[in-house]
Amino acid sequence: MTGTTLRLIGCRKAFADGTVAVHDLNLTIEAGETLAILGPSGCGKTTTLRMIAGLERPDVGQVLFGDQDVTRLPIERRDVGMVFQNYALFPNLSVEGNIVYGLKVRGISVVERSKRCAELLELVGLQEHAKRGIHELSGGQRQRVALARALAPRPKVLLLDEPLAALDAQLRERLRSELDQLLRGLGITSVFVTHDQGEAMALGDRILVMQQGRIAQLGTPREIYQQPANPFVAGFVGNLNAFSVAARTVNGLKVSGGELPWSEAGAPSTVYCRPEHLRVVKREGHLHGRLLGQFFQGAQSRLLIEVGAAQPLLVDSADNVIHAPGDLIALAVEPQALFALHP
């Protein structure tokens, strides 16, 4: 299966009440790539997916699949596979009936149909369940049927709307890695919408972070996490400590709780760092504060440290040393872990 390049050119969509869901969006999704669209609810991520699918027509702009302009084609003529949030499996059909639906519509022979169905059942590990009704399946099994049904007609593009949101945490983890392997194995161009940053990081080759109908940032998970474009992206993807800079010193920046190393010229008003980049040290730290609480999280523990700023600092510490609330904690930070953002 070879992928198709997807392009949105200046796509805008407003709703009947006048609110603009998506502002002039320009986006290219490379063939075979998996793009995660990430954002809070109401940011326009679902509308973007639905414009690609053909369930919404942009008010202005074009949608291209390869060289073909599909802006005016309804979904049934776009050759996309779609996995819906609550799967939207046909309750009147069996697992098999659901999977072959798209093949039947395309007039593929019974023999071909059952062959393809067997392939897909094997792909998603549901060989034993072909004749079952949808009501007899667990959430995870339904998710797999939805995926198999979407893939059966060999679509050009696979679209997934919050594909794992309806599952419980443990199952979500497992299906996430299964889905990742599957998408990589198929090499199909795929786009999925999620509000879960962990899911976006794990599955997306690139992540599109959206905010109020616009692109906040588009980049690889690493870029998004390590070089967030603005405070919104930085705060949405992972946790973040913000330090208000009080003054520039010779070698650093004066902030509440201590002094941070800073070698660049000038002084930003705020600098940021991730919780895992703050290290608890015995003495001579950059920052000092008192422990408010410590939360054991298995592989690491999260510390809340009061330094006299508006928010306590978050520190992810891997050493799991137990501190008592009120203890004085010294923290060190590498200069390269600190960054400034332009809002």
Partner 1 sequence: MKRSSLFIAQLLFTLLVCAFMLVPVLMSLVAGLTRNYFQGVSSGLTFDWIAQVWQAYSPTVWLSLQLALACAVCVCVIGVPAAYALVRMNNRFSRAFEELMVLPVAMPGLASALALLLTYGQFGSFRSSWLFILVGHVLFTLPFLVRPVMAVMQRQHLPVLEEAAASLGAGPLRRFFSVVVPNCRAGILAGVLMVVTLSLGEFNLTWMLHTPMTKTLPVGLADSYASARLEVASAYTLIFLLMIVPLLVALQAISARLSRGEQR
Instruction: Give how many residues touch partner 1 by CB under 8 A.
Output: 26
Please identify which residue in 2, 19, 41, 92 interacts with partner 1, judged by CB under 8 A. Answer: 92
Closest separation between CB of residue 33 and partner 1, Å? Answer: 20
Please identify which residue in 2, 18, 67, 76 interacts with partner 1, judged by CB under 8 A. Answer: 76
| Residues in a beta bridge with 199 | none
Q: Residues 222 to 261: which contact partner 1 by CB under 8 A?
A: none
Please identify which residue in 28, 68, 86, 177 interacts with partner 1, judged by CB under 8 A. Answer: 86
- Note every long-range contact of 134-137, with CB atoms under 8 Å and residues 24 or more positions apart, other chains counting: 134/89, 134/90, 134/91, 134/93, 134/94, 134/95, 134/98, 135/91, 137/95
What Å distances lie between residue 239 and 79, 235, 281, 301, CA to CA?
Answer: 39, 6, 21, 14
The span of 85-93, 112-120, 173-181, 266-274 binding partner 1 (CB under 8 A) equals: 85-93
Q: Is 138 in the site for partner 1 (CB under 8 A)?
A: no
For the CA atoms of the chain, what is the radius of gyration? 24
Please identify which residue in 6, 49, 80, 216 interacts with partner 1, judged by CB under 8 A. Answer: 80
Residue closer to partner 1 (CB basis): 65 or 262: 65
| Cβ 278 vs Cβ 261: under 8 Å | no
Q: Is 149 in the site for partner 1 (CB under 8 A)?
A: yes
Measured CA to CA, the distance from residue 114 to residue 90 in angstroms comes to 18
Residue 159 CB-density burial (10 A; 0-12 exposed, 13-18 middle, 19+ buried): buried
The span of 57-65, 83-91, 171-179, 282-290 binding partner 1 (CB under 8 A) equals: 83-91
Please identify which residue in 2, 16, 41, 91 interacts with partner 1, judged by CB under 8 A. Answer: 91
Closest separation between CB of residue 149 and partner 1, Å? Answer: 7
Q: Residues 94 to 113: which contact partner 1 by CB under 8 A?
A: 101-102, 105-106
Residue closer to partner 1 (CB basis): 95 or 341: 95
Please identify which residue in 32, 153, 258, 289 interacts with partner 1, judged by CB under 8 A. Answer: 153
Closest separation between CB of residue 47 and partner 1, Å? Answer: 14
Residue 66 CB-density burial (10 A; 0-12 exposed, 13-18 middle, 19+ buried): middle
Residue 208 CB-density burial (10 A; 0-12 exposed, 13-18 middle, 19+ buried): buried
Closest separation between CB of residue 53 and partner 1, Å? Answer: 7
Please identify which residue in 32, 39, 58, 81 interacts with partner 1, judged by CB under 8 A. Answer: 81
Please identify which residue in 20, 55, 118, 332 interacts with partner 1, judged by CB under 8 A. Answer: 55
Measured CA to CA, the distance from residue 153 to residue 177 in angstroms comes to 23
Please identify which residue in 22, 51, 82, 229 interacts with partner 1, judged by CB under 8 A. Answer: 82
Residue closer to partner 1 (CB basis): 145 or 201: 145
Beta strands in 172-312 (DSSP E): 189-194, 206-211, 214-219, 241-244, 247-248, 252-255, 258-261, 270-273, 278-281, 287-296, 301-306
| Residues in a beta bridge with 331 | 280, 287
Helix H or strand E segment including 149: helix 139-151
Q: Position 83: which residue type? A: V
Residue closer to partner 1 (CB basis): 15 or 295: 15
Please identify which residue in 2, 16, 135, 321 interacts with partner 1, judged by CB under 8 A. Answer: 135
| Residues in a beta bridge with 279 | 332
Longest alpha-carbon distance in the chain = 78
Measured CA to CA, the distance from residue 205 to residue 89 in angstroms comes to 28
Residue closer to partner 1 (CB basis): 32 or 153: 153
Residue closer to partner 1 (CB basis): 160 or 179: 160
Sign of CA dihedral 222, 253, 283, 329: negative
Residues that bind partner 1 (CB under 8 A): 53, 55, 74-77, 79-82, 84, 86, 88-92, 101-102, 105-106, 135, 149-150, 153, 159
